[in-house]
């Protein structure tokens, strides 16, 4: 029986999101729901969102309940993504809003892949959902590329200074890596290798960048949330890699059919 590690990592990140939200209980600085602003019963909303993330993350660990967990998390992350639409509409030339939207939407796309590959679907609808999710994830990787490109100096500042070759070198290198991964995933050529390397790169971001930041300043919610977000995106890339591994012989040809755009 094939073990889908990406699904487990993705679910673990959701659990981490929920636990961190409950422990901190800070609505105003929790990036996923900060766009809601000053709304009534914010504490209740925070509890509900955190509960959904924890329950969805737990459900997704089992093959029998993965479909329900993916539906819960996909719906929640879609809400988080849509919350950024008014901000994008207000300042469409500022890429920060777009970047936040696609970070959340990358988690939606992974939920689609998991939902499509989970038990309880006929083969045709499962294949369509999974292909659609993987393609949407590729679009999100385009956003990751642009976000690093537009904020290259800020990206370089995150690179630890002790790593050889310099901060700007690695900022440029990882930006190019994101771009190549996006091309591979969207074209279906070398998509398995690209998605695996992408997951590995994002995991390295966690080990080399986000974990040291957390240890240096564990009192900041941003650092906890950043680690959870990084793990979630790594899990999403891994989910896509698992899909390509299982369907590698057919994926590229199927992606060239007009079914995705006809939707």
pLDDT tens, 148-182?
A: 999 999 999 999 999 999 999 999 999 999 999 99
Q: Where residue 31 falls among pLDDT bands split at 50, 70, 90?
A: low
- Report the pLDDT averaged over residues 254-263: 34
Q: What is the pLDDT of residue 120?
A: 61
Q: What is the pLDDT of residue 3?
A: 62
Mutual angle of helices 123-150 and 167-187, in 10-degree steps: 150
pTM here?
0.89
Long-range CB contacts (within 8 A, 24+) of 44-47: 46/21, 46/22, 47/22
The 10s digit of each residue's pLDDT in 188-235 is 999 999 999 999 999 999 999 999 999 999 999 889 999 999 999 999
Q: Into how many domains does the chain fold?
A: 1
Q: What is the pLDDT of residue 262?
A: 33
CB 73 within 8 A of CB 107: yes
Residues 6 or more apart in contact with residue 78 via CB below 8 angstroms = 104, 105, 108
φ, ψ (nearest 5 deg) of residue 94: -95, 120
Q: Where residue 122 falls among pLDDT bands split at 50, 70, 90?
A: low
Tell me the torsion sign for CA atoms 77, 80, 86, 88.
negative
CA distances from 62 to 55, 68, 76, 91, 182 (A): 12, 10, 19, 41, 29
* Share of residues in the chain with pLDDT > 90 (%): 74
- Report the pLDDT averaged over residues 106-119: 92
Q: Is the pLDDT of residue 58 over 90?
A: yes
Domain limits for position 13: 5-262
Q: Count CB-CB contacts under 10 A for residue 161.
A: 7
Q: Where residue 42 falls among pLDDT bands split at 50, 70, 90?
A: confident
Distance CA 50, CA 72 (A): 12
Q: Please give the angle made by the CA atoms of 167, 218 and 238, to the nearest 5 degrees.
A: 60
């Amino acid at each position: 029986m094939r073990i889908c590690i990406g699904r487990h990592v993705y679910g673990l990140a959701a659990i981490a999101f929920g636990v961190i939200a409950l422990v901190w209980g800070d609505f105003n600085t929790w990036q996923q729901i900060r766009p809601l602003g000053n709304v009534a019963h914010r504490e209740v909303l925070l509890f509900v969102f955190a509960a959904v993330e924890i329950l969805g993350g737990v459900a997704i660990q089992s093959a029998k309940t993965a479909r329900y967990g993916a539906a819960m998390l996909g719906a929640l992350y879609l809400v988080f993504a849509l919350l950024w639409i008014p901000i994008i509409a207000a300042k469409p030339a500022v890429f920060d809003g777009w970047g936040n939207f696609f970070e959340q939407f990358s988690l939606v796309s992974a939920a689609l892949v998991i939902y499509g590959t989970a038990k309880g679907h006929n083969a045709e609808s499962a294949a369509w959902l999974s292909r659609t999710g993987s393609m949407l994830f590729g679009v999100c990787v385009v956003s990751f590329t642009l976000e690093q490109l537009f904020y290259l100096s800020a990206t370089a500042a995150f690179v630890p200074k002790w790593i050889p070759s310099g901060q700007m070198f690695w900022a440029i290198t990882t930006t190019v890596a994101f771009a190549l991964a996006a091309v591979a995933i969207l074209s279906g050529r070398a998509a398995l290798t690209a998605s695996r390397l992408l997951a590995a790169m994002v995991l390295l971001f966690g080990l080399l960048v986000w974990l040291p930041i957390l240890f240096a300043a564990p009192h900041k919610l941003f650092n906890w949330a950043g680690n959870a977000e990084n793990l979630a995106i790594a899990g999403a890339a891994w989910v896509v890699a698992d899909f390509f591994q299982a369907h590698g012989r057919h994926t590229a040809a199927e992606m060239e059919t007009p079914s995705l755009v006809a939707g």
